Structure 1
């Protein structure tokens, strides 16, 4: 079972490293879109679509690894005051109310 877990971790880490390349591409596309739209009055639906696709690749690609390594975003000031049961409840509610709907909309 540990071999399977290690294999899954390796796959998730590889996916996250590949998906991380979407971040610089996303920054370039967003900056180009803003500059052309704001200063050249040339809006582009294709650029906005590219932004959504790159954003989805980035989030979906790194979400599993961030979750496994406990590096996802929290409000630590509040999180530190909760009991372990309260932390688990907040985690479950966050997954049900935020992660699943996001995956359903973007996936």
Structure 2
């Protein structure tokens, strides 16, 4: 990746000349944040392998040995929940989240960048921050009560599972901040954008 000069007379006109399937430029800070989220996402991907192994073990125990295990059943949805909530930030960094593309592809690149920046500022980041703050007493309550599964013989330490709500939304905030910086680099040239090589 190489830096492309942004002082090209009029940034707005220049951005509008980009194709509809534009990519936002990166910045030094967004690269660091994205790299961190990607590393967590790649590590989290191994949870799906673990989930498959647990499911195969559960099925084998049930149908070959006529043995059921509530703990293995709960472990399955625990792994799924952790993998899903940690994977959300990876989707945002990779720009694989749901969009109304049929509308977005008709908009000018600068308009799309403005919509994304405003959406991050007034919708996504406030929502994520609220959930993050509200999750702390929720997790703490589970911890001090030594909450366990309601099922007989279920898994203990329910607070560990609940704590991933905090970590997952914190990662989402990091990913959203990186995306926000890329939007401001595209619209205002700040922080300094790093454009892909032509």
Point out which structure has higher relative CO (alpha carbons under 8 A, 6+ apart). 2
Question: Secondary structure in 2 aligned to 1:71?
Answer: coil
Matches within 5 A, 1:10-89: 10-72=35-97, 82-84=102-104
Question: TM-score normalised to the size of structure 2?
Answer: 0.37
Structure with greater helix share of residues: 1
Q: Distance in 1 between matches of 2:48 and 2:80?
A: 8
Question: TM-score normalised to the size of structure 1?
Answer: 0.63
Question: Secondary structure in 2 aligned to 1:48?
Answer: helix
Please, which runs of 5 or more residues in structure 2 have no aligned partner? 1-25, 107-114, 129-134, 136-161, 166-198
For the aligned residue pairs, the C-alpha RMSD in angstroms reads: 3.1
Q: Distance in 1 between matches of 2:43 and 2:82?
A: 10
Q: Distance in 2 between matches of 1:50 and 1:4?
A: 37
Q: Distance in 2 between matches of 1:71 and 1:35?
A: 35
Return structure 1 stretches of 4+ with deviation > 3 angstroms: none
Question: Secondary structure in 1 aligned to 2:68?
Answer: coil
More displaced stretch, 18-27 vs 3-12: 3-12
Q: Distance in 1 between matches of 2:43 and 2:78?
A: 15
Question: Secondary structure in 1 aligned to 2:67?
Answer: coil
Q: Are the aligned partners of 2:44 and 2:87 in contact in 1 as well (CA < 8 Å)?
A: yes
Q: How many residues align?
A: 88
Q: Distance in 1 between matches of 2:51 and 2:45?
A: 10
1:8-59 Cα distance to aligned partner (Å, 9 max, x none): 1011011011111111111000111122123322111111122122112221
